[in-house]
Structure 1
Amino acid sequence: MGKTFDKRKFRCIFALLFDGRTEIQKGLIIKNVKHLL
């Protein structure tokens, strides 16, 4: 696993997290983050 790929992935996740307006979206993103970690 390359660090650059991980950085991109996390940037996308955090961008979605901050851009997400619904709690459902945030919950799904948090679940995905936990699954990746």
Structure 2
Amino acid sequence: LDAAKAELDALQAEIRDIALTIPNLPADEGPGGKGENDSV
């Protein structure tokens, strides 16, 4: 059981590390600019 818990912790840490590299998507309801330079 301890080995399974250690493996679970390692996998969760790996998933967290991967998820932290994925950028957030902009919200559709956010304000848009007239062009690429105007967008925030």
Q: TM-score, normalised by structure 2?
A: 0.46
- Between the two structures, name the one with larger relative contact order (CA 8 Å, sep ≥ 6): 1
Q: Rg: which structure is higher? A: 2
Greater per-residue helix proportion:
1
Q: TM-score, normalised by structure 1?
A: 0.49
